[in-house]
Amino acid sequence: MAAEVAAQPVNGTATGSRARWKHMDTLLSRPGAYTDEDDFAPGSVPIGNIEQSRILVIGAGGLGCEILKNLALSGFKHIDVIDMDTIDFLFREKDVGKAKASVAAEFVMKRCPGCVITPYAGKIQDKDEDYYMQFNLVICGLDSIEARRWINATLVGMVDMENPDSLKPLIDGGTEGFKGQSRVIFPTMTSCIECQLDMHAPRAAVPLCTLATIPRQPQHCIEWAHIIKWEEERKDLVLDTDDPEHITWLYQKALGRAKEFKIEGVTYSMTQGVVKNIIPAIASTNAIVAASCCNEAFKIVTSAASFLGTPGENNYMLYTGDASIYTYTFEHQKKDDCPVCGNLPKDLFVNPESTLGELVEGLAERPEAQLKKPNLRTEEKTLYYSSPASLEESTRPNLKRKISEMLADGEEFAVSDPAFEINFRFIARYA
Amino acid sequence: MAAPAEVPPPLQGIPTAKEKKYDRQLRLWGINGQVALESTHIVLINNGPGVTGVETLKNLVLPNVGEFTIIDSAIVSEADLGVNFFLEDASLGKFRAVEAARLLEELNPGVKGHAVTELLETLITQEKALADYNLIIVAAPIDPAILAKIQAHSQQYRIPTFYLHSVGFFSSFSVYLPPTFPIVETHPDPTSTTDLRLLKPWPALSAFAKEKLKGLEEGTMAAHDKAHIPWLCLLLHYLEKWKQAHDGNVPEAFKEKTAFRDTVRAGDYNEENFDEACAAVLKSLNPPTPPSDVRDILSAPETQNLDKSSAPFWLIANAISKFYQEHGQLPLPGAVPDMKAVSADYIILQNIYKTKARQDSAEVLATVRELEKQLGRPQNFVQDAEVENFCKGAAHIHLVRGRSIQIVEAGKAIQFGDRAKAIAKELTNDESLIGLHIAFLAWDEFVATHHTSSQVAGGQGLKVPGSGTDDFEADAEKMTGIAHKIVDNLIKEAETFVEDPEYSQIKEKIAKFCTEILRAGGGELHNIASLTGGLLAQEVIKVITRQYVPIDNTCLFDGVASRTRVLRI
């Protein structure tokens, strides 16, 4: 391959021929209209930074694959990617069953020689702080809120004020249909994922009694088949939402129930959507959000232009494309009572006449909490533990007791959840 | 309990492999949208670094667009390899269109790709050069004379056409759409579409509410029944009471509505259905007035002056405008949100709404059939399903009045025409990206005035500002000069003037856009190309499927500030 003349002179920090990077190097070798001399020295420094940075990408699905491609074509050379899933999609039949992370890494590396992408097929929770410490920046492209919260708490926890290298910018992207968002977090310095949790309120669950006795919607019939009927009739079989026989069984049960109540609209596709919680997704939205995340990464690493996440500046871009094109770019404020990056407990309004059980149930749905297996205690006593089983059993009677018996107005209590390594501090406020 | 010994049910209604593959997008635009996408042949007229166009195609090949063609005579250079994912090392020295088409096809064997490598300026002189395509994407830089030829073709055959720029951290694209481009399936946010007509209930609805409320005031209703009165009936009941106490008037002002809410609240302080009723007061007690742009469509000349060539959309719009004149409201959409209620009551309520919606839709359909007769169109020129669909979404239909793409002409001042005043106002709006649009116009004018045909001896083809090794500063000054002249002409055309310090601030802002664009020397950054390719592909899908609402008509992206802005130019 002929590669003699680099477009722009670069010094020792950049390696090898730069001919293929002509476009990028031209831009990085000239001062920008929005840069100042102190922050940006055109030429070898930003180019060297790109070459030497190590980036971690979490997720190798629709968003993750785009992110890997974008990073490789932004000149990054050292990328790691984590994804626990195998390919179930029918895109390339020969890849079905392989780890998403490895297939994505191989595909991008083949197209972009010189870029090394190291895949890890597993969970982010398998890795410790030493692992995360190797990277300069982390980009998340996943559909799991839980994983986002975990990596966020981990990166915030890693910050050591004595060691500037311990601060790892976190860039997060997410999409649903024609909508999406990208956001940049400088752990401990700017609003974190946990501060922003209420921006993504969980869908309210349908009460069990509606499913059991008064279904009204086709979805209620499907949930009934899924949550109640399967347990009753196929208890010994683990439900596999990818098994068409299982979905068909649920579909037919739901259809039967719908007929009984004269409810219209149960379809196979809806059954699948409800049971698997399928979020509509399209390639173009993934492209927009992934590229926005990588553009921010590129700007952070090179200082070639201002980036989202500078403390006191915008850190969040919301995108909607279903009615014209609209972006809202703003600064989400850091919260002092954030359980992860703040130092104050959060107020939680409770009805003193309601039961502790209702509070525990509510924690799963409250936008600012979203804790599904909570363990609750005050400084003096244990209120309720979801696990282990022995503790659950001994604290279960408390669920029936009134809040006013268990928590004083203004009393602080802590909630932990095995999914996260942190304690959430709340103050009960009678409402 | 063990699973009962029964024969597993036969597998049925299972989606095909294709439905499964495209499941997540079918949930957005449905089978009709997918069919429209699969019958589209899209052409990319690629120029410059050509990354954004190819990224756009990627986002259309994945969801299974019918066919695509890339027209591009460029040869793959090493610089292409670092920025274009659909080229590989072995592509070096080969035709870029051929290589990109091949690698794009690899993504989805269901899509057919073609490459045309003939020089654009000779190709475009052939009469049928663009005859095969039903959507066109053109990438800058391009000789404006050729762009004008392409647009003339688009206008003659009403072919949606996009023209894009992508340079450094900035990008923009404009779309030409036919003069009338109506959309019925706009997919509004479901929470904004509830239309329950509580202020004007019809007899069947009132009767049902009355029956459900029997015994409430007397205190003879069983607790279970009270807890399961649908909130909609609760509101109807308390509205009746309110009217009796207020000379037959319904609560209108905000204060009245909150007072009304208190009376509902007093009905019960704990039950969930009363909570739901209170929460619904503010948004459900509005007269069903259609939004102003829907009324504009109903009174548009195309709606009111039908002729033999009127499309089905206009016939239905005419019928609906008649319906609106007669009833003072649009046809009822007919959907009822979920609410606490026993199954049977909820189903009855649903049927009351559905029945009314069907009646309304039947009335509109009858008018449509009458119009067909009057216009001498064949019976069933308009399909039943079209009418039904239109009636359901009548409050959310949308019309884009397509405009042509602004094309610069060397030596001629750029005109903003009837948009001059509105655009001039944008100049002083801090949020606007009009400055970026003007910078790209200046960029085009620079290209147009520094263009020598590559077929003539010594001709260089298109010269992009800042693309040489040492012309950055000189070109930046030249291009900024052009941009400032465009601003002055715009202010003049709008017959307005802008005073200092605003005037200087506008010029300074535009100078910065120009400098930042020139910094890239005409080069593309992959991230910006990919992002813009995503935006553009989304617009293409909206235009092809005639679902959702496309931009009107220019989208600008600022990758420094990370934001977009849409302008009607």
This complex has an ipTM of 0.94
B539 shares contact with chain A (CB less than 8 Å): yes
Reply yes or no on whether the pLDDT at A284 is more than 90. yes
Map residue A242 onto helix, strand or coil: coil
Whether the Cβ atoms of residue B534 and residue B479 lie closer than 8 Å to each other:
no
In a domain, A31, yes or no: no
B509 shares contact with chain A (CB less than 8 Å): no
Whether the Cβ atoms of residue B447 and residue B409 lie closer than 8 Å to each other:
no
Whether the Cβ atoms of residue B507 and residue A6 lie closer than 8 Å to each other:
no
Distance from C-alpha of A54 to C-alpha of A353, rounded to nearest angstrom: 54
**Cβ contact B343–A214 (<8 Å):** yes
Question: Are residues A366 and A388 located together in one domain of the fold?
Answer: yes
Report angle CA B32, B196, B323 to the nearest 5 degrees.
70
Question: Are residues A269 and A302 located together in one domain of the fold?
Answer: no
The CATH number of the domain where A425 resides is what? 3.10.290.20
Distance from C-alpha of B331 to C-alpha of B314, rounded to nearest angstrom: 16
Residues B523-556 pLDDT 10s: 999 999 999 999 999 999 999 999 999 999 999 9
Question: Are residues A357 and A222 located together in one domain of the fold?
Answer: no
Residue ranges of domains in chain B, CATH in brackets: 17-182+527-567 (3.40.50.720), 196-284 (no CATH), 292-400 (no CATH), 417-521 (no CATH)
- The C-alpha of A99 sits at a distance from chain B's nearest C-alpha, in angstroms, of 18
Reading the block at residue A129, the tokens are 């702080």
Mean pLDDT for chain B overall: 93
Reply yes or no on whether the pLDDT at B460 is more than 90. no
Tell me, what's the pLDDT at B11? 57
In a domain, A228, yes or no: yes
In a domain, A26, yes or no: no
CA-based nearest residue to A356, from A415, A314, A307: A415
pTM to 2 decimal places: 0.92
Query: Which is it for the CA torsion B360, B363, B369, B375, positive or negative?
Result: negative
Segment B25-29 mean pLDDT: 94
Tell me, what's the pLDDT at B455? 59
Question: Which one is predicted more confidently, A320 or A367?
Answer: A320
Residues B412-437 pLDDT 10s: 899 999 999 999 999 999 999 999 99
List the catalytic residue out of A209, A221, A293, A294. A209
The residue in chain A having the minimum alpha-carbon distance to the alpha carbon of residue B538 is A284
Question: Are residues A181 and A222 located together in one domain of the fold?
Answer: no
Contacting residues of B for A176, CB less than 8 Å apart: none
Q: How many CA atoms lie within 13 A of B95 on its CB side?
A: 15
- The C-alpha of A269 sits at a distance from chain B's nearest C-alpha, in angstroms, of 8
B449 shares contact with chain A (CB less than 8 Å): no
Residues A78-92 pLDDT 10s: 999 999 988 765 456
Number of domains chain A contains: 3
Residues B257-306 pLDDT 10s: 999 999 999 999 989 999 999 999 998 998 878 999 999 999 999 999 99
In the annotation, is A112 catalytic? no
Question: Are residues A230 and A304 located together in one domain of the fold?
Answer: no
| DSSP label at residue B251 | P
Touching A: B residues 128-147, CB under 8 Å: none
Report how far Cα B529 is from the mean position of its chain's Cα atoms.
21
- The C-alpha of A364 sits at a distance from chain B's nearest C-alpha, in angstroms, of 19
Residue A364's pLDDT band (boundaries 50, 70, 90)?
Answer: confident
Tell me, what's the pLDDT at B418? 96
Question: Are residues A286 and A272 located together in one domain of the fold?
Answer: no
The residue in chain B having the minimum alpha-carbon distance to the alpha carbon of residue A257 is B343
Question: Are residues A163 and A65 located together in one domain of the fold?
Answer: yes
Strands B170-176 and A346-350, bridge-based pairing: unpaired
Question: Which one is predicted more confidently, B459 or A156?
Answer: A156
Number of residues assigned to chain B? 569
Question: Which one is predicted more confidently, A379 or B29?
Answer: B29
Peptide bond into B553 cis (omega under 30): yes
Q: How many CA atoms lie within 13 A of A148 on its CB side?
A: 24
**Cβ contact B527–A308 (<8 Å):** no
Phi/psi of residue B497, nearest 5 degrees: -145, 155
Distance from C-alpha of B226 to C-alpha of B205, rounded to nearest angstrom: 18
Distance from C-alpha of A227 to C-alpha of A254, rounded to nearest angstrom: 11
Reply yes or no on whether the pLDDT at B4 is more than 80. no
**Cβ contact A283–B537 (<8 Å):** yes
Question: Are residues A126 and A223 located together in one domain of the fold?
Answer: no
Give all strands (DSSP E) within B177-262, no chain letters.
181-183
Residues B147-185 pLDDT 10s: 999 999 999 999 999 999 999 999 999 999 999 999 999
Question: Are residues A125 and A81 located together in one domain of the fold?
Answer: yes
Nearest to B21 among A90, A210, A245 (CB): A90
Whether the Cβ atoms of residue A226 and residue A206 lie closer than 8 Å to each other:
no
B82 shares contact with chain A (CB less than 8 Å): yes
Map residue B183 onto helix, strand or coil: strand
Question: Are residues A285 and A270 located together in one domain of the fold?
Answer: no
Distance from C-alpha of B9 to C-alpha of B410, rounded to nearest angstrom: 72
- The C-alpha of A169 sits at a distance from chain B's nearest C-alpha, in angstroms, of 17
Q: Bridge-partner residues for B135, per DSSP?
A: B42
- Which class for A349: exposed (0-12), middle (13-18), buried (19 or more C-beta within 10 A)? exposed
User: Which domain, by its residues, includes A255?
Assistant: 208-276
In a domain, A121, yes or no: yes
Residue A244's pLDDT band (boundaries 50, 70, 90)?
Answer: confident
Residues A81-129 pLDDT 10s: 999 988 765 456 677 778 999 999 999 999 999 999 999 999 999 999 9
Question: Are residues A121 and A214 located together in one domain of the fold?
Answer: no
Reply yes or no on whether the pLDDT at B54 is more than 60. yes
- Round the CA-based radius of gyration of chain A to a whole number and report it: 25
Question: Are residues A158 and A268 located together in one domain of the fold?
Answer: no
Least confident window among A46-55, A339-348, B122-131, B197-206 = A339-348
Report angle CA A75, B464, A39 to the nearest 5 degrees.
45
H helices present in A226-328, as ranges: 230-233, 244-260, 268-276, 283-302
Question: Which one is predicted more confidently, B5 or B416?
Answer: B416
CA-based nearest residue to B524, from A114, A25, A325: A25
Ordered strands of the B135-139 beta sheet: B112-116, B67-71, B41-45, B135-139, B161-167, B170-176, B554-558, B563-567
Segment A393-407 mean pLDDT: 92
Q: Which residues contact B567 (CB under 8 A, 6 or more apart)?
A: B423, B426, B432, B433, B434, B437, B553, B554, B556
Give the CA diameter of chain B: 100
- Distance (Å) of CA A337 to CA A156, A191, A312, A340, A372: 15, 11, 18, 9, 20
Contacting residues of B for A32, CB less than 8 Å apart: 515-516, 519, 560
Tell me, what's the pLDDT at B202? 96
- The C-alpha of A251 sits at a distance from chain B's nearest C-alpha, in angstroms, of 9
**Cβ contact A248–B516 (<8 Å):** no
Reading the block at residue B285, the tokens are 């007690």
Contacting residues of B for A284, CB less than 8 Å apart: 59, 533-535, 537-538, 541
- Which class for A70: exposed (0-12), middle (13-18), buried (19 or more C-beta within 10 A)? buried
Contacting residues of A for B339, CB less than 8 Å apart: 216
Q: Which amino acid is at A225?
A: A
Contacting residues of B for A180, CB less than 8 Å apart: none
Distance from C-alpha of B343 to C-alpha of B563, rounded to nearest angstrom: 47
Q: Which residues contact B240 (CB under 8 A, 6 or more apart)?
A: none
Nearest to B526 among A1, A74, A248 (CB): A74
Tell me, what's the pLDDT at A179? 96
**Cβ contact B89–A236 (<8 Å):** no
The CATH number of the domain where A181 resides is what? 3.40.50.720
Whether the Cβ atoms of residue B507 and residue B484 lie closer than 8 Å to each other:
yes
Tell me, what's the pLDDT at B239? 96
For tokens 């503790």, the residue is A391
DSSP secondary structure string, B245-306?
A: HTTTPPP-SHHHHHHHHHHHHTT-SS-HHHHHHHHHHHHHSS--PPPHHHHHHHHSHHHHS-
Tell me, what's the pLDDT at A7? 32
Whether the Cβ atoms of residue A391 and residue A311 lie closer than 8 Å to each other:
no
Report angle CA A284, A289, A293 to the nearest 5 degrees.
145
Reply yes or no on whether the pLDDT at B235 is more than 80. yes
**Cβ contact B11–A317 (<8 Å):** no
Reading the block at residue B262, the tokens are 């208190």
The CATH number of the domain where A243 resides is what? 1.10.10.520
Nearest to A283 among B63, B512, B551 (CB): B63
Distance from C-alpha of B160 to C-alpha of B149, rounded to nearest angstrom: 14
Touching A: B residues 44-73, CB under 8 Å: 49, 55, 58-59, 62-63
Whether the Cβ atoms of residue B414 and residue B486 lie closer than 8 Å to each other:
yes
Mean pLDDT for chain A overall: 90
Segment A139-154 mean pLDDT: 93
Reading the block at residue A342, the tokens are 């703040």
Q: Which residues contact A130 (CB under 8 A, 6 or more apart)?
A: none
Tell me, what's the pLDDT at A418? 83
Residue A14's pLDDT band (boundaries 50, 70, 90)?
Answer: low
| Interface with B, mutate which of A10, A30, A88 (most B CBs under 10 A) | A30
Whether the Cβ atoms of residue A181 and residue A316 lie closer than 8 Å to each other:
yes
Map residue A368 onto helix, strand or coil: coil
In a domain, A13, yes or no: no
In a domain, A34, yes or no: no
The residue in chain B having the minimum alpha-carbon distance to the alpha carbon of residue A31 is B519
For tokens 């008037």, the residue is B249
Question: Which one is predicted more confidently, A15 or A387?
Answer: A387
